[in-house]
Amino acid sequence: QITLKESGPALVKPTQTLTLTCTFSGFSFSATGEGVGWIRQAPGKGLEWLALIFWDGSKRYSPSLKSRLTVTRDTSKDQVVFTMTNMGPVDTATYYCAHTFDIIVRFDSWGQGTLVTVSS
């Protein structure tokens, strides 16, 4: 059974950098095809894909946010770390990490999400 859980600050100030950690179990980045994505959802709004990292270390980012995003993996801890710089109020959202397999990117397991509020 695959599980994922996001952790990080609930509140960040404008211009600060957000760092979130996704801790997972039930799969390993040592296996070909595994991937973890980040998706966010502003309050009352739809889903927005942000980033994805694969088992081989390759990464993909949303073109509209690419300059602000970084995703890395720690294979020894089964964790993925997501950072977003220069946070603003429009970045207030629930941030999810989710599992996918292979380049056929469907997110078959999701974390519970973590609400991040950007406010001074």
Stretch that binds other proteins, among 21-29, 73-81, 85-93, 99-107 (CB under 8 A): 99-107
Nearest to 19 by CA among 36, 38, 42, 41: 38
Tokens 């690419």 belong to residue: 66
Cα separation of 84 and 24, whole Å? 20
Nearest to 2 by CA among 32, 23, 19, 33: 23
> Would you count residue 111 as binding other proteins (CB under 8 A)?
yes
> Would you count residue 106 as binding other proteins (CB under 8 A)?
yes
Pick between residue 87 and residue 114 the one whose CB is nearest to other proteins.
114
Cα distances from 76 to residues 10, 19, 103, in angstroms, run 26, 19, 23
> Would you count residue 37 as binding other proteins (CB under 8 A)?
yes
Give me the 45-74 binding string for other proteins, x by CB under 8 A, dash otherwise: -xxxx--x-------xxxxx----------
Least Å distance, CB 109 to other proteins, is 8
Work out which of 79, 85, 110, 117 binds other proteins, going by CB under 8 A: 110
> Would you count residue 96 as binding other proteins (CB under 8 A)?
yes
3-state DSSP: the chain helix, strand, coil percent, rounded to 5?
Answer: 5, 50, 45
* Residues in touch with other proteins (CB under 8 A): 37, 46-49, 52, 60-64, 96, 98, 103-113
